[in-house]
């Protein structure tokens, strides 16, 4: 078959060379059109160049050399996935290079035998490509077609077919040459590449000469275009800010510069004018032979929004929208750093008894209340300072450039704002603030000291009856340190066995018999000596330490009472003081039951003393007390008369006794009313079927008065102080 190649005349050769060169350029442009610069088949290009060189040499050689070169050329054609098909229509001479065998899998003879074989093997779906191709060829124009063939082994391959017609001066087709390449690999990788670009969720676009040359579907969607045509060929100046486009343009020709890749984050516009946040990376490329920019980008609106939210959360309180601790501290630092001779005030505000509302009415109500509180504080400050929420029920306010008088005015106006009740969820709440104030520079020159001192002053406001304001003074600091020390020691007191119980007998005033004992906590500090419960119980309540301490004393008292019975003493109830904080503890009932079980004490020998503050949440307290009553415990209201309760409330509660507070018992001998209040309490108590116990009896006259008014039980130094267990046992009678 090689001798057929010899028949290629010089015209055909020229045509082939031209065809291959055109092919090379076409392939290059074709690839560029699809952004596939990287995909140019370098091997293919090299082979083509080799052929060109050989052909150039070929034209200057003698016949021997010529023959050798032709042989080499034949060899190249034989091994190449390129076939050339030449048909001289005048002489009806058909020439086909042997490469066709590699391409189609049929022998060369088959093509000579059946001149329509080439058409028969074309994939049926691609036959329509031929119709157009033949139309163009008939016009004498060169045409490149791409179609699939089915090889003799059934494999489908992609062929690129460059048809070059020769027409005579009358325009009739006299010669036709076709150059066929197997482009399956290129086509497949190109298809894959195109799919990647088209399906990419990111914007992929090419920008050159001030216009969009290409943009994928994701890009269209991002800019709100329904069709690629809406964008391609158009300037993007309405979508992207001209400054950014200018920067991209300036970067266009820096192809050698490794820094030429650029990143942008900016606000772009969609076609409907809506703005979006976009991130883009641009890279200068050559596109269709021109300097251009390849753009890859994405919509980062969601990320930007999230960033903004995070930023906001870092500096603002989610619940109230007020600046938070971080924002406040930052602002305060800035103000302080710029201050020369000005005075500023820090107001530390803590809500009184908010925790009880939160614990009893639930966090939703608590949260709503805090929101209303924030509004009231803001309205009192009236934009004259920064109000921040520190967390919980604490707020800090900065008043810039204000002297003490002005600060007092503001503090008073805050207190006034709280004078009316808060309406949350159709419930009325009276909440009051305690405000501590520190002044810059007198009470501190830095943010930390100023806040700490305002906090200390706030505690003084709490101690002074709440719902008031107090300025910081250095004496306060000592108090606060003491308090902190106590808290520190108290945490260790339980472990170190420093807590003890003293017992104070409760007496039948008629018979003078001991009919009960009250367990009262004592703290023997190794260095400080005795610390009074009045000093540490409120602190233990504040810190929550009262819960473990309360459990401890409850168990100790029960064990002690059980022991007395085992030792043959007459059974009497033991009274244990319980804080509201303990009642609020979800595990309270369970822990009382467990202790009674473990100790084996009869429930009616345990008397729980609760103060009137439980009335603040009558619903929950009724529930807890009912459950305790069901177990069979005794319940007493301690310090009666000092709290909020009215007797009418008490009648709904399962109470056994009320203990008249010592202050009323004192009135029997000290006050002009001569115990009128005591009389009233005793009468009402008896009416409601409660036992009435008088506390703090110190004098015989008091005993007489109480007896005359039918109060039959009493407790006080007149009979016995609270005493250690051994001393008490001497007083207890045996069965
Ligand atoms: P309380 O429950 O009203 O206890 C009576 C207090 O009055 C005791 O003070 C007692 O020593 C004192 N007292 C009794 N009779 C007289 C008297 O004739 N004259 C005078 N001047 N005082 C008398 P104490 O032991 O200092 O306890 C103070 C408060 O600390 C108790 O008041 C109680 O509320 C609380 N407390 C004591 N122990 C505990 C405890 O274990 N748990 C809880 N939650 N609170 C406790
Ligand atoms: Mg008591
Ligand atoms: Mg009492």
Q: From residue 27, how far is each of 18, 144, 180, 290 by CA, in Å? A: 14, 10, 13, 17
Bridge partners of 346, per DSSP, are: 398, 438
Instruction: Find the ligand nearest to 555 CA.
Output: 1
**Tell me, what's the pLDDT at 77?**
67
664 close to 677: Cβ distance less than 8 angstroms: yes
Please indicate, yes or no, whether residues 240 and 165 belong to a single structural domain of this protein. no
Residue to mutate (ligand 1; options 519, 533, 549; most atoms within 8 A of CB) = 533
pLDDT in tens, 683-706: 888 988 999 999 999 999 999 999
Give the end of a domain, one of 444, 472, 500.
Answer: 472
Best mutation site among 500, 532, 577 for ligand 1 pocket (most ligand atoms within 8 Å of CB): 577
> Ligand 1: which residue has its CA nearest to atom 2?
577
Query: Best mutation site among 520, 585, 670, 697 for ligand 1, i.e. most ligand atoms within 8 A of its Cβ?
Result: 520
300 and 320 together in one domain? no
Closest atom of ligand 1 relative to the 717 alpha carbon: 18
Is the predicted pLDDT of residue 677 greater than 50, yes or no? yes
Q: How far is the CA of 359 from the centre of ligand 1 (A)?
A: 27
Closest CA relative to residue 215, chosen from 263, 291, 224: 224
pLDDT of residue 22: 41
Average pLDDT of the chain to the nearest whole number: 86
Q: Which ligand is nearest to the CA of 533?
A: 1
Per residue in 395-422, pLDDT tens? 999 999 999 999 999 999 999 999 888 9
**Within a domain: 134:** yes
Q: What is the pLDDT of residue 82?
A: 84
Calculate how far, in angstroms, residue 24's C-alpha sits from the geometric centre of ligand 2.
105
pLDDT for the residue 608: 98
Q: What is the mean pLDDT of residues 320-337?
A: 94
Strand 385-391 and strand 394-399: pairing? antiparallel
Whether residue 628 sits in one domain with residue 581: yes
Among 71-75, 188-192, 519-523, whose mean pLDDT is lowest?
71-75
Query: Measured at the alpha carbon of residue 142, what is the angle toward residues 50 and 10, in degrees to the nearest 5?
Result: 50
- Cα of 34 vs centre of ligand 3, distance in Å, is 92
pLDDT of amino acid 39: 36
Residue nearest to atom 19 of ligand 1 (CA): 696
What's the rounded Cα separation, in Å, for the pair 341 and 410? 21
Give the ligand 1 atom nearest the CA of 540: 44
Residue 674: phi, psi to the nearest 5?
A: 50, 50
Q: Which residues contact 296 (CB under 8 A, 6 or more apart)?
A: 202, 203, 204, 280, 281, 282, 283
How many angstroms separate the alpha carbon of residue 327 from the centre of ligand 2? 46
* Ramachandran assignment for 239, one of left (phi > 0), alpha (psi -120 to 50 degrees), beta (any other): alpha
pLDDT of residue 495: 85
Report whether pLDDT(451) > 50: yes
Pair of tokens at residue 50 = 């080799």
For residues 354 and 375, give the distance between their C-alpha atoms in angstroms, rounded to a whole number: 16
Residue 347 has pLDDT above 80, yes or no: yes
Average pLDDT over residues 320-335: 94
In a domain, 20, yes or no: yes
pLDDT computed for residue 145 by the predictor: 94
Q: Is the pLDDT score of 711 beyond 80?
A: yes
Same domain, 641 and 516: yes
**What is the pLDDT at residue 258?**
58
Largest Cα separation within the chain, whole Å, is: 154
Average pLDDT, integer, range 277-299: 90
d(CA 325, CA 318): 12
| Closest residue by CA, ligand 1 atom 10 | 722
Specify if 430 maps to a domain. Answer: yes
For residue range 631-660, list pLDDT tens digits in order: 999 999 998 877 655 566 677 889 999 999
Ligand nearest the Cα atom of residue 521: 1
**Do 457 and 517 belong to one domain?**
no
Helix (H, G, I), strand (E, B) or coil at 391: strand
Atom of ligand 1 nearest to the CA of 533: 30
* Ligand 1 atom 33: residue of nearest CA: 577
For the beta sheet containing 275-287, the strands, ordered from the edge strand earlier in sequence to the opposite edge, are 211-215, 203-208, 290-299, 275-287, 262-269
In this structure, are residues 388 and 322 in contact, taking their beta carbons and an 8 Å threshold?
yes
440 and 410 together in one domain: yes
pLDDT in tens, 25-41: 444 444 444 433 333 34
Residue 24 has a pLDDT of: 45
Over the stretch 473-486, which tens digit does the pLDDT of each residue have?
988 777 777 777 88
Ligand lying nearest the CA atom of residue 552? 1
User: Which residue minimizes the CA distance to atom 3 of ligand 1?
Assistant: 639
Please tell me the residue having the least CA distance from ligand 1 atom 24: 533
Q: Say if 696 falls within a structural domain.
A: yes
Which residue has the least CA distance to atom 41 on ligand 1?
521
Domain that holds residue 274: 200-304
Which class for 345: exposed (0-12), middle (13-18), buried (19 or more C-beta within 10 A)? buried
Q: Which residue's CA is minimally distant from atom 26 of ligand 1?
A: 533
Q: Which ligand is nearest to the CA of 541?
A: 1
The region of weakest confidence among 78-87, 322-331, 517-526 is: 78-87
How much is the pLDDT for 602?
97
Q: Which residues sit with their C-beta closer than 6 Å to ligand 1?
A: 504, 520-521, 532-534, 537, 550, 553, 577-579, 609, 638-639, 695-698, 715-717, 722
- In this prediction, residues 164-182 reach a mean pLDDT of 87
The whole-number pLDDT of residue 570 equals 95
Q: Calculate how far, in angstroms, residue 518's C-alpha sits from the geometric centre of ligand 1.
A: 9
Q: What is the CATH number of the domain that holds 402?
A: 3.30.70.270
Q: Say if residue 639 is in the same domain as residue 590.
A: yes
Query: Same structural domain for residues 397 and 499?
Result: no
Whose alpha carbon is nearest atom 11 of ligand 1? Answer: 722
Mean pLDDT value across residues 719-735 = 92
Q: Are residues 545 and 411 in the same domain?
A: no
Q: Please give the average per-residue pLDDT across 458-476, as a whole number.
A: 87
Ligand at shortest distance from the CA of 665: 1
d(CA 247, CA 302): 26
458 or 72, higher pLDDT? 458
Considering every ligand atom shown, identify the ligand nearest to the alpha carbon of residue 716 and give its number.
1
Residue 190 lies in a domain: no
Position 91 confidence tier, pLDDT thresholds 50, 70, 90 = confident
What's the 721 CA to ligand 2 centre distance in angstroms? 13
Q: Does any domain span residue 479?
A: no
Q: Where is the domain boundary, 441, 472, 503?
A: 472
Question: What are the angstrom distances between the C-alpha of 175 and each of 90, 110, 305?
Answer: 7, 22, 68
Task: Please give the distance, rounded to the nearest whole angstrom, from the Cα atom of residue 714 to the centre of ligand 2.
Answer: 12
Give the distance (Å) from ligand 3 centre to CA of residue 705. 19
* d(CA 675, ligand 1 centre) in Å: 22
What is the distance in A from the centroid of ligand 1 to the CA of 236?
A: 83
| 549 and 694 in a common domain | yes
Both 523 and 564 in one domain: the answer is yes
pLDDT at 19: 45
**Share of residues in the chain with pLDDT > 70 (%):** 88
Domain membership flag for residue 193 = no
Measured on CA atoms in the order 8, 11, 17, 23, is the torsion positive or negative? negative
pTM, two decimal places? 0.48
- Cα of 609 to ligand 2 centre, how many Å? 6
Which CATH number characterizes residue 296's domain? 3.30.450.20
CA-CA distances (angstroms) from residue 464 to 219, 434, 436, 534? 68, 9, 11, 15
Torsions phi, psi for 585 (to 5 deg) = -70, 125
* Gap from CA of 226 to ligand 1 centroid (Å): 82
The better pLDDT of the pair 288, 409 is held by 409
CATH number at residue 690: 3.20.20.450
**Residue 376 reports pLDDT greater than 60:** yes
* Cα–Cα dist 450/295, whole Å: 54
DSSP state letter for 38: G
Band (pLDDT 50/70/90 cuts) for residue 59 is low
Q: Tens digit of pLDDT for each residue in 502-514?
A: 999 999 999 999 9
Q: Are 698 and 720 in contact (CB under 8 A)?
A: no
The packing angle between helices 325-338 and 301-315, to 10°, is 70
Please give the pLDDT value at position 17. 47
pLDDT at 315 over 70: yes
Question: Rounded to whole angstroms, how far apart are CA atoms 339 and 447?
Answer: 13
584-597 average pLDDT score: 94
Ligand 2 centre from 638 Cα, in Å? Answer: 5
Higher pLDDT, 671 or 162: 162
Atom 27 of ligand 1 has which residue's CA nearest to it? Answer: 533
Give 81-90 pLDDT, tens digit per residue. 688 888 887 7
- Residue 506 shares a structural domain with residue 608: yes
Domain count within the chain = 4
Tell whether 363 is covered by a domain. yes
Report pLDDT for 50: 55
Nearest CA to ligand 1 atom 7: 696
Tell me what pLDDT residue 71 has: 78
* CA atoms within 13 Å, Cβ hemisphere of 164: 21
Taking the CA atoms of 598, 549, 532 and 522 in sequence, report the sign of the dihedral they define: positive
Confidence of residue 240 (pLDDT cuts 50, 70, 90): very high
Task: Give the residue, 46 or 528, on which the prediction is more confident.
Answer: 528
Q: Domain boundary residue among 260, 284, 304?
A: 304
């Amino acid at each position: 078959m090689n001798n057929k190649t010899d028949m290629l005349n010089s015209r055909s050769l020229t045509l082939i060379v031209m065809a291959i060169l055109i092919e090379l350029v076409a392939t290059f442009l074709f690839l560029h059109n699809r952004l596939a610069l990287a995909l140019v088949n370098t091997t293919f290009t090299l082979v083509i160049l080799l052929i060109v060189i050989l052909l150039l040499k070929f034209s200057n050689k003698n016949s021997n050399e010529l023959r050798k070169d032709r042989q080499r050329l034949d060899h190249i054609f034989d091994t190449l996935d390129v076939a050339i098909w030449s048909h001289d229509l005048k002489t009806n001479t058909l020439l086909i290079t042997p490469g066709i065998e590699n391409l189609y899998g049929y022998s060369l003879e088959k093509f000579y035998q059946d001149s329509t074989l080439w058409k028969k093997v074309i994939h049926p779906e691609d036959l329509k490509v031929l119709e157009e191709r033949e139309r163009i060829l008939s016009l004498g124009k060169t045409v490149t077609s791409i179609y699939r063939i089915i090889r003799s082994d059934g494999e489908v391959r992609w062929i690129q077919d460059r048809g070059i017609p020769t027409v005579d001066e009358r325009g009739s087709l006299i010669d036709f040459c076709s150059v066929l390449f197997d482009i399956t690999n290129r086509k497949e990788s190109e298809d894959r590449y195109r799919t990647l670009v088209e399906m990419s969720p990111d914007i992929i676009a090419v920008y050159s000469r001030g216009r969009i040359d290409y943009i994928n579907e994701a890009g269209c969607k991002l800019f709100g275009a329904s069709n690629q045509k809406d964008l391609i060929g158009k300037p993007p100046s309405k979508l992207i800010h001209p400054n950014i486009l200018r920067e991209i343009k300036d970067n266009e020709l820096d192809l050698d510069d490794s820094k030429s890749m650029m990143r942008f984050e900016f606000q772009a516009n969609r076609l409907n004018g809506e703005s979006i946040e976009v991130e883009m990376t641009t890279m200068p490329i050559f596109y269709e032979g021109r300097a251009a920019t390849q753009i890859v980008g994405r919509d980062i609106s969601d990320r930007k929004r999230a960033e903004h939210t995070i930023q906001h959360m870092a500096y603002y309180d989610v619940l109230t929208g007020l600046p938070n601790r971080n924002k406040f501290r930052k602002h305060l630092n800035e103000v302080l750093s710029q201050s020369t001779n000005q005075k500023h005030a820090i107001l530390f505000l803590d809500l009184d008894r908010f925790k009880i509302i939160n614990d009893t009415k639930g966090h939703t109500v608590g949260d709503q209340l805090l929101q209303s509180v924030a509004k009231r504080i803001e309205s009192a400050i009236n934009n004259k300072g920064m109000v921040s929420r520190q967390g919980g029920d604490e707020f800090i306010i900065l008043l810039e450039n204000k002297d003490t008088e002005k600060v007092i005015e503001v503090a008073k106006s805050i207190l006034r704002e709280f004078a009316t009740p808060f309406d949350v969820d159709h419930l009325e709440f009276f909440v009051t603030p305690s405000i501590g104030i520190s002044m810059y520079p007198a009470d501190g020159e830095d943010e930390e000291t100023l806040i700490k001192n305002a906090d200390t002053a706030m505690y003084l406001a709490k101690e002074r009856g709440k719902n008031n304001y107090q300025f910081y003074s250095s004496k306060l600091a000592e108090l606060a340190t003491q308090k902190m020390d106590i808290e520190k020691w108290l945490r260790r007191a339980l472990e170190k066995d420093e807590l003890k119980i003293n017992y104070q007998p409760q007496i039948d005033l008629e018979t003078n018999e001991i009919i009960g004992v009250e367990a009262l906590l004592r703290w023997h500090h190794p260095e400080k000596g005795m610390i009074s419960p009045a000093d540490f119980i409120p602190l233990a309540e504040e810190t929550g330490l009262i819960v473990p301490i309360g459990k401890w004393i409850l168990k100790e008292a029960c064990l002690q009472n059980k022991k007395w019975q085992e030792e043959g003493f007459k059974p009497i109830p033991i009274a244990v003081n319980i804080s509201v904080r303990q009642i609020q503890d979800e595990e309270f009932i369970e822990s009382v039951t467990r202790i009674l079980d473990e100790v084996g004490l009869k429930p009616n020998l345990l008397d729980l003393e609760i103060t009137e503050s439980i009335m603040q949440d009558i619903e929950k307290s009724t529930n807890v007390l009912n459950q305790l009553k069901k177990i069979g415990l005794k319940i007493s209201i301690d310090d009666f008369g000092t709290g909020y309760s009215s007797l009418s409330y008490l009648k709904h509660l399962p109470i056994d006794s009320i203990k008249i507070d010592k202050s009323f018992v004192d009135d029997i001998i000290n006050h002009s009313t001569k115990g009128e209040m005591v009389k009233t309490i005793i009468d009402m108590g008896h009416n409601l079927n409660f036992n009435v116990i008088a506390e703090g009896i110190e004098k015989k006259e008091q005993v007489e008065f109480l007896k005359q008014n039918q109060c039959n039980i009493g407790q006080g130094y007149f009979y016995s102080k609270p005493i250690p267990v051994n001393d008490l046992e001497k007083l207890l009678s045996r069965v």
